Amino acid sequence: MTLRSFARRTVLGALAASALAAASLSAQAQETSIKFQLDWRFEGPSALFLTPAAKGYFKDEKLNVTIDAGNGSGGTVTRVASGTYDMGFADLAALMEFHANNPTVPNKPVAVMMVYNNTPAAVLALKKTGIKTPTDLNGKKLGAPVFDAGRKAWPIFAKANNVGNVAWTAMDPPLRETMLVRGDIDAITGFSFTSLLNLEARGIKSDDVVVMPYPQYGVKLYGNAIIVSESFLKSNPDAVKAFLRAFTKGVKDVIADPKAAIAHVKARDGIINEALELRRLQLALDATVLTPDAKAEGFGNVMGPRLALMASQVADAFATKERINPNAVWNGTLLPPDAERNIFAVKRK
């Protein structure tokens, strides 16, 4: 090979490598990066988000999505508002509270898709205490972390069921079910699919637990929704629409094969108990996602009158600085078409 030929091949090779690198950079530039925070740890329900990520549905929509665990809805709302995260998963009541208590703060998040059409909040007690109905809670000792959704919404539950004169004990989340089992408190509030399994992990049989889900006792609050920061929504509306499309596709897969979905959770947290988290996921689907209310309203959607009632109830129960404007916390214009959101047509395993 002549020196001239060698030089020519070297130049051509360099040009080809540069072209490939440029093409790769161009493809990356076309992707929109989204930092997303969950409301809680990598447990069964997080499969709703981890599945579309693992299956490449976000990538197919030209999105580069990173998903992090959270430590409560309040923290997720605050971090999305601060810009630390672009989007998140949080209790709608926590979002309403943030809006009403921070009226002048810029970049307030907005909910764009309802996932838990019914709040998972519930009161749980042990049957041996004699508590069977809400009225049995009168004069009892209740416990929950101060930021627990059920505790914060307790005034709504109490009013709907004529319950009064209860004494509250606060604790860190890991101690809630332990204190109930020890008899330090008579009942707790918590997410039904979390506290029930936590009690079982402490040796209590499910048949020995009384569960009073808020939605079954006159409290028709919405639960967790996908939220997005105001600035990200304004600058990337198409990316938000793409995220919701990919997410909806993933939800259908989770419903069709929950066991496979738990494998994606296991990939993010190798120490989880797969059987336990599978049951948690199935309980969450039944209690909050695949509910009669969600079917009537359409998965992902909300109804104006119900949203307005919740805004008024939350303002009263949470004693917010200002009244809550339901139109300020909700934007349903980015949802996929109704036909795409028909998760109830999916055959469950």
pLDDT in tens, 289-313: 999 999 999 999 999 999 999 999 9
Determine contact, residues 193/276, Cβ cutoff 8 Å: no
**Mean pLDDT in residue range 40-62:** 98
Q: Look at the pTM and tell me if it is higher than 0.75.
A: yes
Is the fold of 29-118+222-345 the same as that of 121-217? Answer: yes
342 against 23, higher pLDDT: 342
User: Backbone phi, then psi, for 129, in 5-degree steps?
Assistant: -80, -15
Structure confidence by residue, pLDDT tens digits, 228-275: 999 999 999 999 999 999 999 999 999 999 999 999 999 999 999 999
Average pLDDT, the chain: 93
pLDDT of 81 higher than 90: yes
Give the residue-averaged pLDDT of 84-94: 98
CA–CA gap between residue 318 and residue 7 (Å, rounded): 75
114 touches 92 (CB < 8 A)? yes
Residue with tokens 């925070």: 37
pLDDT band with cut points at 50, 70 and 90 for residue 349: confident
pLDDT at 180 over 70: yes
Higher pLDDT, 287 or 28: 287
Phi, psi angle pair for 188, to nearest 5°:
-135, 160
Amino acid letter, residue 126:
L
Domain boundaries, the chain: 29-118+222-345, 121-217
pLDDT computed for residue 2 by the predictor: 57
pLDDT digits (tens, 9 = 90+) for 114-168: 999 999 999 999 999 999 999 999 999 999 999 999 999 999 999 999 999 999 9
pLDDT value at 7 more than 50: no
Decide if pLDDT at 21 tops 60. no
What mean pLDDT is predicted for residues 61-88?
97
Q: Return the CATH architecture of domain 121-217.
A: 3-Layer(aba) Sandwich (3.40)
| SS3 category, 87 | strand
User: What single-letter DSSP state applies at residue 117?
Assistant: S
Helix (H) or strand (E) holding 106: none
Q: Hey, CA dihedral for 260, 349, 39, 31, is it positive or negative?
A: positive
Neighbouring residues of 258: CB distance < 8 A, sequence distance ≥ 6: 47, 278, 281, 282, 285, 349
**Whether pLDDT at 25 is above 50:** no
State the Cα–Cα distance between residues 65 and 88, nearest whole angstrom.
11
| H or E segment to which residue 183 belongs | none
Query: Quick one: which of 297, 278, 292 has its CA closest to 341?
Result: 297
Report the pLDDT averaged over residues 335-345: 97
Q: What is the dihedral of CA 153, 155, 156, 157, to 10 degrees?
A: 90
CB atoms within 10 A of CB 26: 9
pLDDT score, position 284: 97
Q: Which CATH class is domain 29-118+222-345?
A: alpha beta
Q: Which residue has the tokens 């909700």?
A: 330
Nearest CA to 318 among 228, 186, 221?
Answer: 221
